[in-house]
Amino acid sequence: MRNLKNRFAFMEGNLTILTIRQVVGMFFRRMVLTYASLFVLAVGGSSSQIGVINSLRPLAGLLMFPIAGYLTDRTSRVRIIVLADILSGVSMLLYVLAPSWEWIAVGALVQGFMVFSFPPTSAILADSMKPENRGLGVATMGTISNAISMFSPYIAATILIMFGENIGMRLLYGMLGLQFLFAAVLAFKKLEDTNEINNSEPMPSVFTILMNTYGGVPGLLRDTPRSVVALGVVVLMGFISNGISSPFWVVYVTEKIGLSKIEWGVILLYESILKVVLTIPSGMVADKVGRTKTLIVAMIVSLVSLPALIFADSYNSVLLIRLGAALAGALFMPASTALMADYVPRNLRGKVMAAFGRGSVMIGASGGGTGGPGMGYLFVLPVMASSIVGGVLYNMNPVYPWYAVGIATVVQLICVLLFIRDPEKAQN
């Protein structure tokens, strides 16, 4: 028992606060995102409009990620995070009061501006972990979060059955708004900055920041290690897959396969249980065996499981597919996040992570999966396009989105096999 306690002794300070924020946030986000598409349909939207709404969320990242990346390396990261949480909580009123799908679209656009909290959060997380513990640290945070949020889809389904999809989703969005306010208070009181705050340099104009950022992309790509660029492509393909398919998992399994919302919630519960069991061992594997080898296994499992939805015709077949997604996700998340932190120097993490994100993406997201700390400004336009394409593909034929997922996963596997290697020495 003492050895186990010593093994996890590094989970203190900022890591504890970030874990609490992630646990509470994931619990309420999963309740909302799992059934968000049904809310669009309930207020008069269609599958095409679901795609449009999901494409709007990343749009603001084109503006906010470069600004956030600049500020992350020069000012208080904690203050940036607190401001984003407060504004996110207030913006949930657009969903709570939405009379039509257009309001939901506006809410998605406004919510997209809140991504300026992601680079500072990712930088604090990377700064707060030693290289030898990064895989285990990320895995531990993920395990605790999944252990709590595994019940979210089932609880949300119960609320929707009790109150209906229209009123029920408004209640869920209201709870999510309160969660953001809680996170803001927690960060303000307990989270500590890990960077030196430089107030001597005058703040350039927004236009100057944007010009320097986008004008410097060729140089950034040239100077960034090949493995980081390749990892960025892997993460981008994951976001594209989620943009195309994630809003339609619940629609496909309920309308085409015939599962009930409760059955879908139970499947996601089993998925979360498996992910909880596997994530910490996966993090240990990433630390001991290597990040790249772990990523290869994750991509193979993803390729076998996710596109198989087109053959599913029963509860059990959908369950097996989602358990495959759980295994792939448990392997991928700690390895990819640790690899990004291993390669990027501490003083450049704001700049690089604003462009490439944290180095992680949800595998086979069943709702959402097109934002979060893994997102960077280089991904925004492709993810927007994928969200629109997803709605078009689903209208053409409901199985087409999962053909696209299969193609994207093949690209991911090729990138890992050919271009990604563990660094000889990890950055602190």
Residue 224: the pLDDT is: 85
398: left (phi over 0), alpha (psi -120 to 50) or beta: alpha
pLDDT at 135 over 60: yes
Rounded Cα distance between 398 and 417, Å, is: 31
Please provide the distance, in angstroms rounded to a whole number, between the alpha carbons at the two ends of the chain: 29
For residue range 155-204, list pLDDT tens digits in order: 998 999 999 999 999 999 999 999 999 999 999 999 998 877 766 677 78
Q: Average pLDDT over the chain, rounded to whole?
A: 89
Task: State the fold for domain 9-188+216-419.
Answer: Growth Hormone; Chain: A; (1.20.1250)
- The stretch 15-23 carries a mean pLDDT of 91
Tokens of 354: 């604003």
State pTM to two decimals: 0.78
Rounded Cα distance between 92 and 81, Å, is: 17
| CB neighbour list of residue 229: distance below 8 Å, 6 or more residues apart | 221, 419
How does DSSP classify residue 376?
A: -
Query: What length does the chain have?
Result: 428
Q: Can you give the C-alpha Rg of the chain in angstroms?
A: 20
324: left (phi over 0), alpha (psi -120 to 50) or beta: alpha
In the chain, where the domains are located? 9-188+216-419
Rounded Cα distance between 86 and 114, Å, is: 10
Rounded Cα distance between 413 and 406, Å, is: 11
User: Is the CA virtual torsion 333, 410, 256, 388 positive or negative?
Assistant: positive
Q: Which of 324, 341, 224 is nearest to 283 (CA)?
A: 341
- Which run of H or of E encompasses 5? helix 2-7
- The stretch 124-149 carries a mean pLDDT of 83
- The stretch 246-262 carries a mean pLDDT of 92
CB contact burial 136-155 (16+ within 10 A = b; e otherwise): bbbbbbbbbbbbbbbbbbbb
Contact status, residue 335 vs residue 301, Cβ threshold 8 Å: no
Calculate ∠ Cα 224-227-232, nearest 5°: 80
Percent of the chain at pLDDT > 90 equals: 51
Rounded Cα distance between 343 and 424, Å, is: 10
Rounded Cα distance between 267 and 32, Å, is: 16
Contact status, residue 308 vs residue 406, Cβ threshold 8 Å: no
For residue range 368-420, list pLDDT tens digits in order: 667 777 788 899 899 889 988 998 999 999 999 999 999 999 999 999 999 99
Tokens of 240: 């594209």
Alpha-carbon 200 to chain mean position: 35
How does DSSP classify residue 373?
A: T
Residue 100: the pLDDT is: 94
Rounded Cα distance between 2 and 124, Å, is: 28
